[in-house]
């Protein structure tokens, strides 16, 4: 449902000349065109770095609010969005699949679109939305009933909408779409419901489906409405018919590596969590139990959806260590083109950009217990005693042996995106130090019902902190500095040419750190917990910083003992924009 506000600014905006269409070249150069932010990640490589240096280490202490915007009263849930900025307008998504267009000079709302969500949607981890994508004269975003919507940039009118998957079967969609060569690329959400992860590409102008690529072996892809190729080899790593409900949701969206013309998507946990039920607890002859391509990074040809390569971070996964974490192209100290990715399983991986081959892996959180390390081929060296027990071994047919595993199922790093600075060479990784009691239970698949087969309780590891922002050198795996936060970190990170790193905290602060040392240089209290993604841009010669504030997401819903620690935090829904005061 589109709502156009008839204020003077909105009327002028709606009647103004048509936008200069956002081109493929504009999107490709999103990082260097500092007057815009038209993609999630501030560039399709997801580096979340801006070369802007007007706000820097010396003057960031003077940063003040320029304006703030309320996203409405009764729908104040987790606000994990990243703002987009184009031609004087900010576009932000909100909880319950809403989109706002805001005048960037005044903070005045121009139009608002509210998706008509049906009864019975099944979002696993709050009713969040992580942002949109701009191309041509349209803005694209996904909705909780597993649809993709194209809106007119000027008016918010629906140009087209299409169904990604059936929400009644547990599918949803929360990630920001990715635009590549006139195609809108989307994943899907719903990994806790026995769905099948998939990547889809649509014509950005018409919404027509071009190709699909399931990410669980045995499923057929399509190209131009016809079957194309099978993903993997049927029953190679999945026994029987379990691949049909194998999980692997592609729920965080993807990266585009222009140098290799490759989409890189992560695939989430296999379903169910109970690895014994998938043949992964004890692999048998002829079946490795790896459950491909769940818990993997997958390189895909953007033209036809064919898989180029894959790298599985957690084969035989049994702790809900999704493999969806963003894959960020970078150049290492020796000039090699690499990918960096901080996995939910607690290891920071470096991969080769040509073929996804393993280069290195280093722990980035403490006390990892499920694996002793990573071998020379990139496979975990399992601590088999830390795999949750097989319920079939229980005398009463109930739950299997309980183990305490680190990290917790919410991960050493979850969805919250890291940043990479080409200037310092470092990755700035938002992480959490926590573990869990976890056990397996009997379960059977039922469409639209939770398909876990596990129970859990998250517990903090240390008394004085849970959240940890780490500056990691990808060449050595060394942590150069660390900022410790009492509550879990759950928001995105941004680095800038001014030598700064920005991120928000659940306690409500947007903070700026020295990118070299980690010294806290500035903070501002926004009134609610920050789980959004900061951005920066230049307008009329001034640099601005913006972030969404609004506590929510998975931690208060799934956090166990950790959730109790942060239950005093207020929900909210607002956008805050900051700048330096003008000198008289």
Q: How many whole angstroms separate alpha carbon 292 and alpha carbon 209?
A: 25
Residue 381 included in any domain: yes
Residue 298: what pLDDT?
A: 98
Q: How many whole angstroms separate alpha carbon 226 and alpha carbon 55?
A: 52
Residue 270 included in any domain: yes
- What element of type H or E holds 25? helix 24-28
What do you get for the CA distance between the two ends of the chain, in Å?
A: 45
Q: How many whole angstroms separate alpha carbon 385 and alpha carbon 387?
A: 6
Q: What is the pLDDT of residues 222-262, one digit of tens each?
A: 999 999 999 999 999 999 999 999 999 999 999 999 999 99
- Read off the DSSP letter of residue 206: T
What's the pLDDT band for 18 if we cut at 50, 70, 90?
A: low
**What are the tokens at 185?**
């690329």
Least confident of 34-43, 133-142, 278-287, 412-421: 278-287
For residues 115 and 97, the answer to whether their CB atoms sit within 8 Å is yes
- Give the count of domains, the chain: 1
276 phi, psi to nearest 5 deg? -65, -30
Residue 9: what pLDDT?
A: 53
Residue 17: what pLDDT?
A: 46
Q: How many CB atoms lie within 10 A of CB 18?
A: 8
Residue 583: what pLDDT?
A: 74
β-pairing, 493-496 vs 49-50, is parallel
Q: How many whole angstroms separate alpha carbon 285 and alpha carbon 287?
A: 6
Where is pLDDT greater, at 245 or 124?
A: 245
Is 182's pLDDT higher than 70?
Answer: yes
Is 90's pLDDT higher than 80?
Answer: yes
Q: Which residues contact 23 (CB under 8 A, 6 or more apart)?
A: none
Residue 509 included in any domain: yes
- Write the Ramachandran bin of 558: left for phi over 0, alpha for psi from -120 to 50, otherwise beta: alpha
Residue 338: what pLDDT?
A: 98
Nearest to 497 by CA among 28, 34, 26: 34
Determine the average pLDDT of the residues in 314-321.
97
Q: How many whole angstroms separate alpha carbon 60 and alpha carbon 54?
A: 9
CATH number of the domain at 19, please: 2.140.10.10
Q: How many CB atoms lie within 10 A of CB 375?
A: 12
Residue 6: what pLDDT?
A: 42
Percent of the chain's residues with pLDDT above 70? 96
Q: Which residues contact 6 (CB under 8 A, 6 or more apart)?
A: none
Q: 366-369 contacts: CB < 8 A, separation 24 or more?
A: 366/406, 366/433, 366/461, 367/406, 367/433, 367/435, 367/461, 368/406, 368/407, 368/412, 369/404, 369/405, 369/406, 369/435
Residue 322: what pLDDT?
A: 95
Residue 547 included in any domain: no
What's the pLDDT band for 560 if we cut at 50, 70, 90?
A: confident
Q: What is the pLDDT of residues 456-480, one digit of tens each?
A: 999 999 999 999 999 999 999 999 9
Residue 2: what pLDDT?
A: 52
Q: Which residues of 551-581 are buried (b: 16+ CB within 10 A; e: fewer)?
A: bbbbbbebbbebeebbeebebbbbbbbbbbe
Strand order in the sheet with 358-363: 328-331, 337-342, 347-352, 358-363
- What element of type H or E holds 563? helix 561-565
Give me the sign of the Cα torsion angle 322, 323, 324, 327: positive
Residue 539 included in any domain: no
Q: Which residues of 525-540 are buried (b: 16+ CB within 10 A; e: fewer)?
A: ebebbbbbbbbbbbbe
- Read off the DSSP letter of residue 102: E
For residues 46 and 327, the answer to whether their CB atoms sit within 8 Å is yes
Where is pLDDT greater, at 208 or 556?
A: 208
Is 533's pLDDT higher than 50?
Answer: yes
In sequence order, what DSSP letters do the residues of 525-548 get, joined into one string? E-SS---S--EEEEETTEEEEEEE
Q: What is the pLDDT of residues 494-531, one digit of tens each?
A: 999 999 999 999 999 999 999 999 999 999 999 999 99
Q: Annotated catalytic residue: which of 320, 332, 396, 514?
A: 320
Is 12's pLDDT higher than 70?
Answer: no
Q: What is the 3-state secondary structure (H, E, C) of 385-449?
A: HHCCCCHHHCCCCCCCCCEEECCCCCCCCCCCCCEECCCCCCEEEEEECEEEEEEECCCCCCCCC
Residue 206: what pLDDT?
A: 98
Structural domain boundaries enclosing 117: 2-67+78-529+553-579
Residue 36: what pLDDT?
A: 98
Residues forming a β-bridge with 148: 142, 162
Nearest to 200 by CA among 237, 233, 225, 217: 225
Residue 283: what pLDDT?
A: 78
Q: How does the average pLDDT of the chain come out, rounded?
A: 94
For residues 373 and 392, the answer to whether their CB atoms sit within 8 Å is no
Determine the average pLDDT of the residues in 147-152.
98
Nearest to 267 by CA among 318, 311, 211, 202: 311
**What are the tokens at 556?**
């208060």
Q: How many whole angstroms separate alpha carbon 343 and alpha carbon 471?
A: 15
What's the pLDDT band for 435 if we cut at 50, 70, 90?
A: very high
Q: How many whole angstroms separate alpha carbon 402 and alpha carbon 30?
A: 48
Q: What is the pLDDT of residues 339-372, one digit of tens each?
A: 999 999 999 999 999 999 999 999 999 999 999 9
| C-alpha torsion angle, residues 395, 400, 403, 405 (rounded to 10) | 170
The length of the chain in residues reads 584
Determine the average pLDDT of the residues in 101-124.
95
Give me the sign of the Cα torsion angle 64, 529, 512, 107: negative
Residue 573 included in any domain: yes
Residue 571: what pLDDT?
A: 87
**What are the tokens at 90?**
């900010």
**What are the tokens at 302?**
């953007």
Catalytic-residue membership of 320? yes
Residue 548 included in any domain: no
């Amino acid at each position: 449902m589109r709502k156009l506000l008839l204020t003077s600014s909105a009327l002028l905006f709606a009647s103004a000349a048509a936008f200069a269409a956002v081109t493929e070249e504009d999107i490709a150069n999103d990082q260097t065109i500092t007057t815009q932010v038209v993609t999630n990640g501030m560039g399709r490589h997801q580096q979340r770095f801006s070369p802007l240096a007007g706000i820097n280490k010396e003057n960031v202490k003077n940063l003040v609010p320029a304006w703030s915007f309320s996203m409405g009263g009764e729908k104040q849930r987790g606000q994990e969005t990243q703002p987009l900025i184009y031609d004087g307008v900010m576009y932000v998504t909100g909880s319950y699949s809403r989109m706002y267009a805001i005048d960037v000079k005044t903070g005045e709302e121009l139009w608002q679109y509210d998706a008509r969500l049906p009864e019975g949607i099944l979002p696993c981890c709050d009713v969040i939305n992580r942002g949109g994508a701009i191309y041509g004269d349209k803005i694209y975003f996904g909705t909780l009933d597993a649809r993709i919507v194209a809106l007119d940039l000027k008016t918010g009118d629906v140009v087209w909408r299409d169904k990604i998957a059936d929400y009644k079967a547990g599918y949803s969609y929360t990630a920001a779409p990715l635009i590549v060569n006139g195609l809108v690329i989307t994943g899907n959400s719903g990994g806790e419901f026995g769905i099948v992860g998939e990547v889809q590409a649509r014509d950005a102008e018409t919404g027509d489906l071009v190709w699909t690529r399931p990410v669980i072996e045995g499923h057929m892809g399509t190209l131009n409405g016809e079957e194309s190729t099978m993903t993997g080899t049927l029953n190679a790593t999945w026994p029987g018919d379990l691949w049909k409900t194998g999980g692997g949701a592609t729920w965080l969206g993807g990266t585009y590596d222009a140098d290799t013309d490759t989409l890189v998507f992560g695939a989430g946990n296999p379903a169910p969590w109970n690895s014994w039920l998938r043949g992964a607890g004890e692999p048998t002859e002829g079946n490795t139990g790896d459950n491909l391509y769940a818990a993997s990074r997958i390189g895909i040809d953007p033209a036809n959806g064919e898989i180029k390569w894959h790298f599985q971070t957690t084969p035989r996964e049994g702790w809900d260590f999704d493999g969806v974490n963003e894959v960020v192209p970078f150049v290492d100290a020796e000039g090699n083109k690499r990918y960096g990715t901080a996995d939910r399983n607690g290891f920071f991986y470096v991969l080769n950009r040509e073929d996804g081959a393993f280069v290195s892996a280093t722990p980035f959180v403490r006390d990892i217990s499920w694996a002793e390390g990573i071998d020379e081929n990139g496979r975990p060296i399992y601590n088999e005693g830390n795999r949750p027990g097989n319920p079939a071994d229980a005398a009463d047919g109930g739950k299997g042996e309980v183990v305490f595993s680190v990290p917790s199922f919410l991960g050493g790093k979850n969805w919250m995106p890291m940043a990479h600075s080409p200037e310092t060479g470092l990755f700035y990784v938002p992480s959490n130090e926590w573990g869990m009691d976890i056990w397996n239970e009997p379960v059977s698949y039922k469409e639209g019902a939770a398909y876990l087969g596990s129970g859990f309780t998250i517990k903090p590891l240390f008394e004085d902190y849970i959240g940890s922002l780490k500056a990691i050198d990808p060449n050595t795996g060394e942590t150069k500095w660390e900022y410790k936060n009492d509550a879990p970190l759950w928001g995105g990170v941004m680095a800038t040419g001014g030598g700064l790193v920005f991120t928000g905290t659940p306690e409500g602060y947007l903070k700026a750190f020295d990118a070299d040392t980690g010294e806290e240089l500035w903070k501002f209290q926004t009134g609610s917990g920050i789980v959004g993604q900061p951005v920066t841009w230049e307008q009329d010669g001034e640099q601005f910083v913006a972030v969404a504030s609004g506590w929510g997401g998975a931690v208060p819903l799934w956090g166990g003992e950790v959730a109790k620690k942060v239950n005093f935090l207020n929900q909210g829904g607002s956008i805050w924009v900051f700048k330096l005061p003008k000198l008289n």
